[in-house]
Each structure stands twice: as C-alpha cells, then as structure tokens.
Amino acid sequence: MTYTPDEMMTVAAARRLKEGAVCFVGIGLPSAACNLARLTHAPGLVLIYESGTVGTRPTVLPLSIGDGELAATARTVVPLPEIFTHYLQAGRVDVGFLGAAQIDRMGDLNSTVIGPYDAPKVRLPGSGGAPEIARHAREVLIVMKQSTRSFVERLDFRTTAGRPGAVITDLGVLEPDAGTRELTLRAMFEGVTVEAVRAACGWPLRVADRLTTIAPPTTTELEVLRALHDRTAKAHAHRVVLTFPS
C-alpha cells in the first residue's frame, strides 16, 4: 500500500507508545498517533487530555481538546487544575506529546511568537500545557514536520524547555546525543536520504554513526488509521442543530 509522509510520521510515533503507558495527549497528530496505538498494539494505553478527561477511548478524533466525545468515553472527568497538579506535576504521566512552530538543536520549542515578543510578526497561540508537560512527563515525544522554517538555529521565543526523548519528523527520527543532548539523526523512513534530512534542517544536523531504517506502515496500521480519519471527517462535517423541549 502507498502512504503519505503524514501517515508514516503518525505510525512511527504510535509505535513508540508502550502498552499500559499513561500519555498526556495534544490535539492533531499526537492525538491520531495515541489513538492508533490504542487501536492496534497498545489497547491498555491510558490517554489523558488536558481538558480533564482521564482514560478516554474516543471512537473519532476530537477537533478540540474538550470535545464531548472525550468526556463521554472517559473513565473519569476531573477539574482542569487537578489534571495539572495531581496528575502531571505529581509525576503520574509517562509520556507527553508536543508539537510547536519552531524547534532548536536542543529540542527547545517556540509556540508563542515569530519576531519580538512585544511586537510580533506572527502571534502564535502560546504555551497551553506545554512547559509543564515537558517538565513533568517521564518522557517527551515531539512530532513536527521538518523544514528550515521550523527547525531553526535560533528560536524567536523559548516557550518550552523541550528535553525530548525523540523528535519524530516526516523524514525520520532525531534523538538527543547521550553526552551533549544535541538532537542527532538516528533513523530514517524508507526512501529518505541523509541529504534530504539535512536540507530540511536549519542547523548543521549531526548524524549518528549507525543509521537505521524505519519499516513502512503495515496494512493493518494504515487501515486502522484511515478508518479513524474517515470516521473523524464525517463526524466533524455535520452542522449541529439544536432542538429544545417546547
């Protein structure tokens, strides 16, 4: 089966999630990856969304972090301050998933501004849960498409001290060097060259001595992921019409 770079990226991220892990999930690709893992090799994955839904098992991907689907399929729904204090800050989260507009060679992230903070060229949404997810989750995974605009020599603003265990891109996987912590190319997707990865990185990217190739998505992985996206697209397309008791 042919597949897109987005699908490969989602599958690669999903494969890193171990059965039974407690994951703090963000919207978008992380949410797709976590639910793909839950629907394939890790049915016991515990998904926590920052809206307060704990142990949620959505049948379609949420558009927002607080869709009703997440509450209706959760083991419990707790107030948001509790998610950030009792669950995250107190150390009950194994894996935190993050993305951003910019990343640097140490894995720090910018999701706040492009340009100066006081006079931004582009005002981005801001930090949300990211700074504390990065600090308190046992392992941080970052999922970002690679380009010289997003993989930069210098961040415009450091929203989050990322300290990732891995950065999964649309070309391969970067991991921090054991000594310097600098992000280093460790693995590539099939058909990707080192030159292509280096060309899509804004700093001179270090490459591991031994590079591995990540196996393409299996038929099962692709079928489950596509069915999930199909269900999601249908669910998000319909307009809500309210009916009131007369």
Q: What residues are annotated to the active site?
A: 50
Nearer to another protein, 40 or 53 (CB): 53
Quick check: helix, strand or coil at residue 241?
coil
Query: CA dihedral defined by 164, 199, 144, 138, rounded to 10 degrees?
Result: -10
56 binds another protein (CB under 8 A): no
Helices 29-39 and 5-15: crossing angle in degrees, nearest 10, is 60
238 binds another protein (CB under 8 A): yes
Nearer to another protein, 81 or 204 (CB): 81
Q: Which long-range contacts (CB under 8 A, 24 or more apart) does 3-7 make?
A: 3/216, 3/217, 3/222, 5/145, 5/170, 5/171, 5/189, 6/170, 7/217, 7/222, 7/225
Q: Which of residues 109-138 bind another protein (CB under 8 A)?
A: 112, 117, 120-132, 135-136
Nearer to another protein, 156 or 221 (CB): 156
Among 21, 38, 67, 152, binds another protein (CB under 8 A): 67
Nearer to another protein, 64 or 220 (CB): 64
Site string for another protein, 136-165 (x = CB under 8 A): x--------------------xxxxx----
Which of 155, 96, 151, 159 has the alpha carbon at shortest distance from 125? 159
246 binds another protein (CB under 8 A): no
80 binds another protein (CB under 8 A): yes
Name the site residues for another protein (rule: CB under 8 A). Answer: 27-28, 50-53, 62-68, 70-72, 77, 79-81, 84-85, 88-89, 108, 112, 117, 120-132, 135-136, 157-161, 235-245
